Amino acid sequence: MQALKRGAPFALPIKILQFGQGNFMRGFFDWQIDLLNERSGLNAGVVIVRPRGGSAAPLLDVQDGLFTVLVRGLDEQGAPVKEYRKVECVQREIDPNAGYADYLALAANPDLRFVVSNTTEAGIAVNDTDRLEDAPPAAFPAKLAQFLYRRFEAFDGAANRGLVLLPCELIDQNGPALKRAVLHFARLWQLPAAFDAWIEQSCTFCSTLVDRIVTGYPAADAEQIQQDLGYEDQFLVAAEYYYLFVIQGPAWVGEELKLAGAGLNAQLNIRLVDDITPYKKRKVGILNGGHTTLVPVALLAGLEAVGPAVDDEGTGRFLRAAIADEIIPALGMDRKELEAYAEDVILRFRNPAIHHRLASIALNSWSKFAARVMPQLLRYIETNAGRMPRRLVLALAATMVLYRGGVIALSDDKANLDWFTQAWTKVDAGEWSMAQLASGWLANVALWGRDLNGVPGLTYALTVALEQIVKQGVRELLA
């Protein structure tokens, strides 16, 4: 089987510098740039920089920057989709440990307009030890600060040579966060005040929200994939059908990306907005909150993966009702838009091409519950005259029962694990009642931000739910 290579010389102007070579960026961002190149004439080449160099993994250069994205899932009508796309926008990949001079040389490229990054949530971090002369420094923002300063010098601080930065790290307001990190190093290194001013006035740091499941190489289907393609591609990634890219920024950013008429913006998959907050709130509440609500109930019901849990009569009905009747009303946004988004989420959860293990989502359940579900649970009570969102309360109780142990290998903050070990020991020994278990956990100010025993009716409702799960089991309750 032949390897994937370019058949003829192919070069696009380098308009995008990308930090991050992982599956997600290739199956999400590069895939979209390739579509924009084809549909709207963006004509943008990408150079990828590994945020952390020194990896033994081969560079994309061994395939001339080419790779394939396999899109599998269910479309808007629930029909199965299977599509291959050979992505051609990536021109080269740089390992900063071996080619840092090549990386910095790109700063003088007049065609360059965008910097995009996905360096994990911990990537936008600062320190006081990286130096301007390091090649490379350890922190991603330090590498970026060096690059921007080199560009500032190369063009004598020209206002029209600033860049647009699109961080895709999953942190709140990632644009301002990256800007603060860059300025931290500028001040640590005592760079000229004019550079600070250039960052402030000539560079545009946009916050983004990214949403797509990219699963990497589907090894189990390798033989069929090679037959379909007629070539071998060691960098192929599989992605779900759904994707959403929200950019908070000025209108001219969309014009430079040539979104209009590309067939993507019209499908509401790439959105340029003034305020990203509603989109994040929707995603966290319905997608992430739906996952976190479903997982403990489905695990206690004897299920192992998201798709079968959604298709299961009991847990599937529970999830749909929790989203429709308790999560959506608590979000306080346009109901029709939220319902349409929820339909997409259910289709994504049911995607037969993705085996999303419930135990994987259950990692660090309590920080997830506090961020994704508890705000809607409390908001529902506040806006419904104290009435309880009984499914969200059941999910809270089910998570507590899950932390009794014996269902999956638990992974969480040590303090949380230790608390439940001790608490369930007391319950089993008859030293604590279910009411004491419920009130003890609701009093965890470090997790919830306040003592939730002060919410009228919540302690009682949680106590009842705990008793029901322990005595009857989740399956009987769902029935």
438 — pLDDT class (breaks 50, 70, 90):
very high
Residue 134, SS3 per DSSP: coil
pLDDT in tens, 230-270: 999 999 999 999 999 999 999 999 999 998 866 665 455 89
Q: Is the pLDDT of residue 10 over 90?
A: no
- Mean pLDDT over 112-124 rounds to 89
Give 463's contacts (C-beta < 8 A, 6+ positions apart).
Answer: 434, 435, 437, 438, 439
pLDDT of residue 263: 66
pLDDT of residue 427: 98
Question: How far from 209 is each of 97, 118, 279, 369, CA to CA, in Å?
Answer: 30, 11, 8, 20
Q: Is the pLDDT of residue 314 over 60?
A: yes
- Mean pLDDT over 368-393 rounds to 96
pLDDT of residue 261: 67
The candidate with the shortest Cα–Cα distance to 408, out of 328, 296, 286, is 296
The more confident residue out of 77 and 383 is 383
Half-sphere exposure (CA, 13 Å, Cβ side) for 114? 26
Alpha helix segments (H runs only) across 273-312: 277-282, 289-300, 306-311
- Mean pLDDT over 13-41 rounds to 94
Q: HEC profile for the chain?
A: CCECCCCCCCCCCEEEEEECCCHHHHHHHHHHHHHHHHHHCCCCEEEEECCCCCCCCCCHHHHCCCEEEEEEEECCCCCEEEEEEEECCEEEEECHHHHHHHHHHHHHCCCCCEEEECCCCCCCCCCCCCCCCCCCCCCHHHHHHHHHHHHHHHCCCCHHHCCEEEECCCCCCHHHHHHHHHHHHHHHCCCCHHHHHHHHHHCEECEEEEECCEEECCHHHHHHHHHHHCCECCCCEEECCCCEEEEECCHHHHHHCCCCCCCCHHHCCEEEECCCHHHHHHHHHHHHHHHHHHHHHHHHCCCCEHHHHHHCHHHHHHHHHHHHHHHHHHHCCCHHHHHHHHHHHHHHHCCCCCCCEHHHHCCCHHHHHHHHCHHHHHHHHHHCCCCCCHHHHHHHHHHHHHCCCCCCCCCCCHHHHHHHHHHHHHHHCCCCCHHHHHHHHHCCHHHHCCCHHHCCCHHHHHHHHHHHHHHHCHHHHHC
pLDDT of residue 266: 46
pLDDT of residue 82: 94
Neighbours of 427 (CB within 10 A): 17
The more confident residue out of 119 and 152 is 152
Encoded tokens for 358: 């419930």
pLDDT in tens, 338-358: 999 999 999 999 988 888 899
Residue 226, SS3 per DSSP: helix
Domain 14-273 in this protein, CATH class: alpha beta
Annotated domain spans of the chain? 14-273, 281-478
**What CATH architecture does domain 281-478 belong to?**
Orthogonal Bundle (1.10)
pLDDT in tens, 138-159: 999 999 999 999 999 999 999 9
pLDDT of residue 58: 87
**Cα–Cα distance between 431 and 326 in angstroms, integer?**
34
pLDDT in tens, 256-310: 999 886 666 545 589 999 999 999 999 999 999 999 999 999 999 999 999 999 9
Neighbours of 406 (CB within 10 A): 6
pLDDT in tens, 381-431: 999 999 999 999 999 999 999 999 999 999 999 999 999 999 999 999 999
- Mean pLDDT over 218-230 rounds to 90
Rounded (10°) angle between helices 390-402 and 289-300: 60
β-pair partners for 93: 48
Q: Is the pLDDT of residue 64 over 80?
A: yes
Q: Is the pLDDT of residue 68 over 80?
A: yes
C-alpha 432 chain-centroid distance: 40
Neighbours of 470 (CB within 10 A): 14
**Cα–Cα distance between 41 and 164 in angstroms, integer?**
19
pLDDT of residue 240: 92
